[in-house]
A = this chain, B = another copy of it.
Amino acid sequence: MQRLSLYLRRLEHLAQEGVSTVSSRNLAGQLGTTAAQVRRDLAYFGQFGKAGVGYKVEELAAQLRRILGTDRTHNVILVGVGHLGRALLRYKGFRSRGFEFVGAFDIARSKIGKTFGSVTVRNLQEVGRLVKQHDVRLAVIATPAEAAQDVADMLCKVGISGILNFAPTTLIVGDGVTVGPVDLAGALEQLSFQTYHAPMS
């Protein structure tokens, strides 16, 4: 799954550069995997490159978009409109990949009614109504760690089934709900580890 997402990103980059076909070896090389792995991954979805020609960039990208569900727009809500939340509301990468924020929620009166990006902040108590109205399944949590579990419970109750969690805490959710943890400090930690411990070259 993560690899499909990487393939798509790479293919979109190649398409922008006017490249029309790409070999599995070329795709693999730029993503740190192997040509055999690329062929296995894509064959699983019924896509086969032509020997000596490779994959058609646009066609494969379109198919991956379908598989990943990014060929249509997904409604997303955000809870927690602090600095990070505001930055996420304005982050262009989401919209270009088919995700549209249709609501933002906070509990601070000073924030309710303000607009960031194209979204106006509402009282968290209204979340259930908006989720139903816009058939929202995905939510982003960008609250402080202390508030995140309560927010997750609330989101599960109103029918959210996927949560991208930026709060630095582990969320516990019921069956049928998926949490994608985004651990920004962990990412820096891993990089630091590789930088300081890797053999010098």
Chain A: residues with CB nearer than 8 A to chain B? 1-2, 4-6, 8-10, 13, 30, 67-70, 74, 76, 82-84, 86-88, 90-94, 96-97, 99, 137-138, 140, 161-164, 168-170, 175-176, 178, 180, 182-198, 200-201
Beta-carbon contact of B10 and A170 below 8 Å: yes
B191 touches A180 (CB 8 A): yes
- CB pair A138–B195 under 8 Å, yes or no, is yes
Q: Determine the distance from Cα of A42 to Cα of B70 in the docked complex, in whole angstroms.
A: 39
A76 to B67 alpha-carbon distance, docked (Å)? 38
Contact status of A201 and B175, CB under 8 A, knowing A185-B99, A188-B76, A194-B162: yes
Query: Which of A5, A140, A201 counts the most B-chain CB atoms under 10 A from its CB?
Result: A5
A195 shortest CB reach to chain B, Å: 4
Chain B hits for A93, CB < 8 A: 168, 184-185
For A137, A193, A194, the residue with the greatest tally of chain B CB atoms inside 10 Å of its CB is A193
A68 to chain B, nearest CB (A): 5
Can you sample 12 A-B contacts with CB below 8 Å? A1-B190, A5-B183, A30-B170, A69-B193, A74-B192, A83-B87, A83-B90, A86-B87, A93-B184, A97-B188, A164-B187, A178-B191
User: Which residues of chain B have C-beta atoms less than 8 A from A90's C-beta?
Assistant: 83-84
For A74, the closest partner residue in chain B by CB is B192
Residue of B nearest to A175 (CB): B201
